Structure 1
Amino acid sequence: MNTTTSSRRPRAILRIHFHPAERTDELYGQLLAVIDGISSRVEPLPADWSAYVDLTGALTYWGRDTEGLVAVLRLRLLALHGVQCSVGAGPTRSIAAMAADATPPGAATVVRDDPYEIAVFLRTKAASALPGIGPKTAMSLARYGITSVGDIADTRLPTLQRILGATAARQAHDRARGIDERPVIPGAAPRTMSASHRFDRDELDPEQHQRAVLGLVQDLGSRLRTSGEIAQALTLTVTYADRTQTTRTRTPTEATAHSPALATTARALLTGLGLQRARVRTLTLRAERLLPAEDTVHQLTLDARDDRLRRLESALDKAMARFGPGVAGVASAFHRAGQQATGVHPSGSGGRTAA
């Protein structure tokens, strides 16, 4: 008997974005646990509160199609944690990401693993919607009349290579035709540590914003040094009076737990947000992609102020370990020891200064 059935299973990959009222590391972990109850193939992306999920095997296990399993997942997240999400589903990572970007909170967009449906979804999208095509690349393509994903798919590869280079052209050409073999790589979310400050009233004063952020830096820096970890990035989330949020991430010049270095990065984040007229309810600072402190590579300098600050920091950590938080006016001490080196302003704290 002659059979010609295909052994290939339809692929179903999700890109899911969470939209909670307030963000905490604990909540993110709980949301990932809900997803893990549906499929164990979860790739966390904590920087933007999202994740990739491979549902290919789960569809058979649960006996549902992609739309049905996505509906179950969204319902569980809402029922257990009150969190809305937006979901994009498709046969590849790039299609799932594009579908998610086009989906509002509380909704889902599903592109089935079907050549016709894939082409219908992709071809009319702007070239800049394709993952890997940034604004500058899209402008370069537009100069040659290539403005849509369909145009990229129809352009001969050698022509694209002359415009974009060999690697970028091959990647764009494949993704424009729905080809993307990148797998979902399961793993635990990279360790993070966060601190939040909620104002007693919606705060308009930029000075109070700066003082609050500096207090968060002091808290995070002390906890990082106590746990023997260093941060590779800082993320500042601002929650406004209307509960909307803005999040920005910046990478320090080197992974660190040194409070003045963290403060420099945090103040740059705050300044970049331009909150002069914003009514701020909560500020959250998160240290991300933590590493063991022994992995640090500190660039040696001839700056005596930096050495004094590090010795002072060590002394203050010991004082707080002995007498508890709040024993030292950390910000004021850093200000006196090295204001010119770090740009750190005093917090106005009334705490005692350790000798």
Structure 2
Amino acid sequence: MDEQHDQAVGAGSPILHLRCPMDVDPELYRLLLRLAGEVTPVVQALPPAALAADVSGSVRFFDRDPAELARMIRTRALALYGLPVAIGVGPNWTIAAMASREPGPGGVRAVGSSPEAVAAFLHPRPVGELHGIGRAQERTLTTYGVHTIGLLASLPEATVQRVLGEKSGRLLRERARGVDRRKVMPADLPHSAAAQRRFPTDTLAPELVGAALLSLAVELGERLRNRRQAARAVTLTVTFADRTQIHRSRQLPGGPSAHTDDLRDAAYEMYRALGLQRARVRAVALRCEQLLDAAAVAEQLSFDAGREHRLRAERAVDELNARFGSGTVGPAASYPQTG
């Protein structure tokens, strides 16, 4: 079944989905983004280890079909950087992303745009392999006897919506039928990173707010370090029970950083400076801004032994989270307390 999908495809399959090894060095990932950008300007970064590209405008320029362009990118990535890239080629994002999971020995899998080619690629596969489906949705469908993507595609839309909900049901059924309306949007690594914590009930407890701010610093610090970026400034947003908001920004005093310590300290200082006493807080958000390449940031020497120990621990935590999943390990104070 699969050999036919490794052949050349026409211009009707212009979407490329590229996957690097999950532990790819962030600098190599940046180089791959630039390499893909030499083939097409329509490249969307999907950090930390994937990207999507639309080569519709490159087929005539290079006089090569999308599968050949994918092989060219892969060959260059191996030759220049020693980077093994798996590339899926398809008529849309869903098909290309699924094809990149099983690229075959040549590193590239191409799926044609004809209804027959799409159905042959999608329909025999387990429903859990459908791009974008969640584990809970997979369990629900298999409970009802829907074990393959083809079965999902054959069901009436109303039936799928009753089982999975209106929006999710329509979206997943369309993808099972090979329909994905998303466009690849040119986007490099982002210039800011943000996260929010909303409390189950409005709170007066400073310890709950402190734990939330710490968890935000942990999350954003890990995200920046994975992208090899550093922030010059941090903005804190506090949302109150009456839905009003207050915003405070601060440049990081020690210079650009992605260390949890620095983000946490800035968040704590901004919150303390607000002088809140009896204000009920509904949510807090933190945004890291003015991001730049971490390679351009000089690491400050520190004579604080405690800080050096925490930075070593931070690196160890990053390695564990990279191996077992983000959020697996972190400061105890950043986790919600129960009981």
Output the TM-score relative to the length of structure 2: 0.60
* Aligned positions of 1:1-355 closer than 5 A: 10-19=12-21, 23-47=24-48, 49-103=49-103, 107-190=107-190, 253-254=212-213, 261-262=217-218, 285-286=225-226, 293-297=233-237, 310=265, 325-331=301-307
One-letter amino acid of the structure 1 residue matched with residue 303 of structure 2: V
Q: Distance between the aligned counterparts of 1:114 and 1:255, measured in 2? A: 51
* Bigger Cα Rg: 1
Change (3 A) 1:310 1:173: closer
Report which stretch shifted further, 113-122 or 62-71: 62-71
Change (3 A) 1:298 1:262: farther
Aligned pairs, number? 239
Change (3 A) 1:82 1:299: same
Change (3 A) 1:19 1:53: same
8 Å Cα contact 2:13/2:89 also seen in 1: no
Q: In the TM superposition, what is the alpha-carbon distance from 1:290 to its structure 2 partner? A: 6.5
Secondary structure of 2:173's partner?
helix
Secondary structure of 2:57's partner?
helix
Q: Distance between the aligned counterparts of 1:105 and 1:232, measured in 2? A: 40
Q: Distance between the aligned counterparts of 2:15 and 2:219, measured in 1? A: 39
Report which stretch shifted further, 64-73 or 85-94: 64-73
Q: Distance between the aligned counterparts of 1:187 and 1:129, measured in 2? A: 26
Q: Distance between the aligned counterparts of 1:33 and 1:80, measured in 2? A: 12
Change (3 A) 1:175 1:37: same
Q: Distance between the aligned counterparts of 2:73 and 2:37, measured in 1? A: 10
Q: In the TM superposition, what is the alpha-carbon distance from 1:11 to its structure 2 partner? A: 3.7
Secondary structure of 1:295's partner?
strand
1:206 paired residue number? none
Change (3 A) 1:86 1:328: same
Secondary structure of 2:237's partner?
coil
8 Å Cα contact 1:190/1:288 also seen in 2: no
8 Å Cα contact 2:47/2:227 also seen in 1: no
Q: Distance between the aligned counterparts of 1:190 and 1:136, measured in 2? A: 30
2:7 paired residue number? none
Q: Distance between the aligned counterparts of 2:58 and 2:136, measured in 1? A: 39
Q: In the TM superposition, what is the alpha-carbon distance from 1:39 to its structure 2 partner? A: 0.8
Secondary structure of 2:44's partner?
strand
Q: Distance between the aligned counterparts of 1:106 and 1:167, measured in 2? A: 37
- State the Cα RMSD in Å: 4.0
Output the TM-score relative to the length of structure 1: 0.57
Q: Distance between the aligned counterparts of 1:296 and 1:121, measured in 2? A: 47
Residue ranges of structure 2 left out of the alignment (5+ in a row) = 1-9, 197-210, 241-260, 270-299, 311-330, 334-339
One-letter amino acid of the structure 1 residue matched with residue 133 of structure 2: I
- The percent of aligned pairs where both chains have the same amino acid is 27
Q: Distance between the aligned counterparts of 1:71 and 1:157, measured in 2? A: 38
8 Å Cα contact 2:11/2:66 also seen in 1: no
Q: Deviations over 1:194-218 (max 9, x none)?
A: xxxxxxxxxxxxxxxxxxxxxxxxx
Q: In the TM superposition, what is the alpha-carbon distance from 1:131 to its structure 2 partner? A: 1.8
2:277 paired residue number? none
Secondary structure of 1:286's partner?
helix
Q: In the TM superposition, what is the alpha-carbon distance from 1:288 to its structure 2 partner? A: 7.2
Q: Distance between the aligned counterparts of 1:42 and 1:106, measured in 2? A: 22
1:244 paired residue number? none
One-letter amino acid of the structure 1 residue matched with residue 174 of structure 2: D
Q: Deviations over 1:284-304 (max 9, x none)?
A: 95367866634233799xxxx
Q: In the TM superposition, what is the alpha-carbon distance from 1:232 to its structure 2 partner? A: 5.2
Q: Distance between the aligned counterparts of 1:294 and 1:332, measured in 2? A: 22
Q: Distance between the aligned counterparts of 1:333 and 1:83, measured in 2? A: 33
2:314 paired residue number? none
Residue ranges of structure 1 left out of the alignment (5+ in a row) = 1-7, 192-228, 234-251, 270-283, 301-305, 315-323, 335-341, 345-355
One-letter amino acid of the structure 2 residue matched with residue 76 of structure 1: R
Q: Deviations over 1:18-61 (max 9, x none)?
A: 239x74333222111111111110000112x1100111221122
Q: Deviations over 1:233-288 (max 9, x none)?
A: 9xxxxxxxxxxxxxxxxxx945889xxx549987xx9xxxxxxxxxxxxxx95367
